[in-house]
Amino acid sequence: MEYREILYHVDGKVAVITLNRPDKLNAWTRRMAEEIQDAAVTAAEDDNINVIVLTGAGRGFSAGADMNLLQGLGAGKAGEKEEDKPKQPPQDTRPDFKQQYSYFPAIPKPIIAAINGPCAGISLVLTLFCDMRIAAAGAKFTSAFVKRGLIVEYGGAWLLPRITGLANAMDIWLTGRVFDGNEAKELGLVNQVLPDEGFLESAMAIAHDMANNNSPRSMRVIKHQTWEAMFQDLDNALDLSMDEMNASIKSDDFKEGVAHFMEKRPPAFTGK
């Protein structure tokens, strides 16, 4: 697929997907969404990639849906039509992770949202499906849906309360107010807040540490366990953990994990 609205590059064992409409504050389009999907699946299929970072070009992450697109929808006009179809995410997963924008949990590698600036509307919902969210201190967040006569889309109403708790989710969705990265951390929306100066470099350092020093197999299984646990009772979660632990002990990465620790050297994990 030709990328016109994102950038994709590989930095060591980290794939970086950059929303790339900086003159429009990376406003969301259907084309952009399809390119992100194609790039995420491309990274998933690359055995040399262990971690994926999603960020925005210029001064922001994304201002949300392109207002020209929303205006067209309000006038009853059809949306964008693209002939260039993206790669499909892995299909051997639960139906919940096969729908539009909900496929990130089906990507078997950690996805980190590096939120470098304004993050609104649909782009905020997308970050909820990432495995980790790291924000610049000065990043601005808003749901904006109630300001546009819209509702929470693409499963955000289900997912956000599980991340921030019900009261904080209601605050974010019902007020539509703007808040910064530090408050996002207080609300439980983001994992870490980093200084604006050198933000992407600092976020990438976290991604590189994970990609170079953690077992790819362990990260893959833990991601699967954690997302599956959202739908399981404790009994099933325990059964899955026992099965996966037995499989881990037989893996090459477990042997390497012990060996590099005992030999006091950097790990050479294979993901097997």
Verify that 76 and 155 share a domain, yes or no. Answer: yes
Q: Are strands 140-142 and 179-180 parallel, antiparallel or unpaired?
A: antiparallel
Q: How far is it, in rounded angstroms, from Cα 81 to Cα 152?
A: 24
Q: Does the pLDDT value for residue 137 go beyond 80?
A: yes
Structural domain for 230, as ranges: 215-262
Task: Name the strands in the sheet holding 51-56, side by side, starting at the edge strand that comes first in the sequence.
Answer: 6-11, 14-19, 51-56, 111-115, 132-136, 192-194
Report pLDDT for 149.
Answer: 87
Q: Mean of the pLDDT values across residues 155-167?
A: 95
Higher pLDDT, 256 or 90: 256
Verify that 40 and 156 share a domain, yes or no. Answer: yes
**Over pLDDT 90: what percentage of the chain?**
76
Q: Return the half-sphere exposure (C-beta side, CA atoms, 13 A cut-off) of residue 137.
A: 6
Higher pLDDT, 60 or 89: 60
Q: Mean of the pLDDT values across residues 248-267?
A: 92
Model confidence at 158, pLDDT cuts 50, 70, 90, reads very high
Verify that 185 and 256 share a domain, yes or no. Answer: no
Per the domain annotation, does 82 fall within a domain? yes
Q: Does the pLDDT value for residue 74 go beyond 50?
A: no
Report pLDDT for 69.
Answer: 66
Report pLDDT for 66.
Answer: 81
**Three-state SS string across the chain, please?**
CCCCCEEEEEECCEEEEEECCHHHCCCECHHHHHHHHHHHHHHHHCCCCCEEEEEECCCCCECCECHHHHHHHHCCCCCCCCCCCCCCCCCCCCHHHCCCCCCHHHCCCCEEEEECCCEECHHHHHHHCCCEEEEECCCEEECCHHHCCCCCCCCHHHHHHHHHCHHHHHHHHHHCCCEEHHHHHHCCCCCEEECCCCHHHHHHHHHHHHHHHCCHHHHHHHHHHHHHHCCCCHHHHHHHHHHHHHHHHCCHHHHHHHHHHHCCCCCCCCCC
Per-chain mean pLDDT for the chain: 91
Q: Does the pLDDT value for residue 118 go beyond 50?
A: yes
Per the domain annotation, does 135 fall within a domain? yes
Verify that 21 and 87 share a domain, yes or no. Answer: yes
Verify that 75 and 185 share a domain, yes or no. Answer: yes
Verify that 26 and 60 share a domain, yes or no. Answer: yes
Verify that 206 and 222 share a domain, yes or no. Answer: no
Report pLDDT for 95.
Answer: 84
Verify that 116 and 229 share a domain, yes or no. Answer: no
Q: Mean of the pLDDT values across residues 156-180?
A: 95
Q: Does the pLDDT value for residue 18 go beyond 90?
A: yes
Model confidence at 148, pLDDT cuts 50, 70, 90, reads confident
Q: Mean of the pLDDT values across residues 42-64?
A: 96
CATH label of the domain that carries residue 172: 3.90.226.10
Could you report the per-residue pLDDT of 86-113, keeping only the tens digit for each? 888 887 888 888 887 889 999 999 999 9
End-of-domain residue from the set 190, 211, 232: 211
Per the domain annotation, does 242 fall within a domain? yes
Report pLDDT for 110.
Answer: 98
Q: Does the pLDDT value for residue 75 go beyond 70?
A: no
Per the domain annotation, does 272 fall within a domain? no
Q: Does the pLDDT value for residue 131 go beyond 50?
A: yes
Model confidence at 153, pLDDT cuts 50, 70, 90, reads confident
Domain count, the chain: 2
End-of-domain residue from the set 184, 211, 238: 211
Q: How far is it, in rounded angstroms, from Cα 109 to Cα 131?
A: 9
Q: Which stretch of 60-69, 113-122, 136-145 has the lowest confidence by average pLDDT?
A: 60-69
Q: Does the predicted TM-score (pTM) go above 0.85?
A: yes
Verify that 160 and 225 share a domain, yes or no. Answer: no
